[in-house]
Structure 1
Amino acid sequence: MTVQTFLERANALRDQGPMALMSPDLPVLKAEAKAATTQLKADRAARAAAGKKPIACVPEGESIGIMDMLDGLAALPAADQKRPLKDGYARVLAKRFPC
């Protein structure tokens, strides 16, 4: 899923208010976000194993909340919003937690 698609679907859920909890889109978006996070963790481990600098340096015990993630994704340039969610999320993390 691209960043743009993720944002469109997330914004549609946000517009539903509390009814979003009943939407079949909610578990889909949660799974996409979790998959992107898992992929980024694997990428980080692979970069470390290869002796490469990490994309972002998230302090131990820190994380980014869903609203901050959505705001960060929405702030990305249009070209970046056409990228896969994992890549957009990596850019948000790199901006928030630079090395």
Structure 2
Amino acid sequence: MGALSLAAATSASAAMTVGTFLAKAAPLRANPFTALTNPDYQVLKAEADAATRELRAEGAARQAAGKPPIACMPDGEKIGILQMLGGLDALSPADKKLPLKQGYAKVLSRTYPC
């Protein structure tokens, strides 16, 4: 899995669901000019980065074990936060109950299938 551009970290034990992530992101998306000053910005940034790092580590472990990758992102390709949010928005209601990492893995596998 190639580099993914997102943001900072929280512990895996405090993993947020896709639905919660999208609900907290909605006000920031509605008013992007004040997003950086919104207290939820850092929380969302940390959650997105934690999911990204965990997926990278999982991808490396899968590769080392000879298992197929989660997604086949071209080298040098990056997924931006707006693309990530759009992919999460498109998930089914059941998938929106998943932890962010699992929902994001679904987005990546649909965006960059192997």
Q: TM-score, normalised by structure 1?
A: 0.96
SS in 1 for 2:79: coil
- Map Cα deviations across residues 11-36 of structure 1 (whole Å, 9 max, x no partner): 12112331121111101100100000
> What pairs with 1:3-82 in structure 2 (closer than 5 Å)?
3-82=18-97
Q: Which residue of 1 aligns with 2:12?
A: none
In the alignment, residue 59 of structure 2 is paired with which amino acid?
Answer: R
Q: Which residue of 1 aligns with 2:9?
A: none
After TM superposition, which residue ranges in structure 1, 4 or more long, deviate above 6 angstroms? Answer: none
Unaligned stretches of 5+ residues in structure 1:
none
Is 1:90 paired with 2:105?
A: yes
Aligned pairs, how many?
A: 99
Q: Distance in 2 between matches of 1:50 and 1:27?
A: 34
- Map Cα deviations across residues 29-81 of structure 1 (whole Å, 9 max, x no partner): 00100000000001001111111000101111101111111010000001110
Bigger proportion of residues as helix: 1
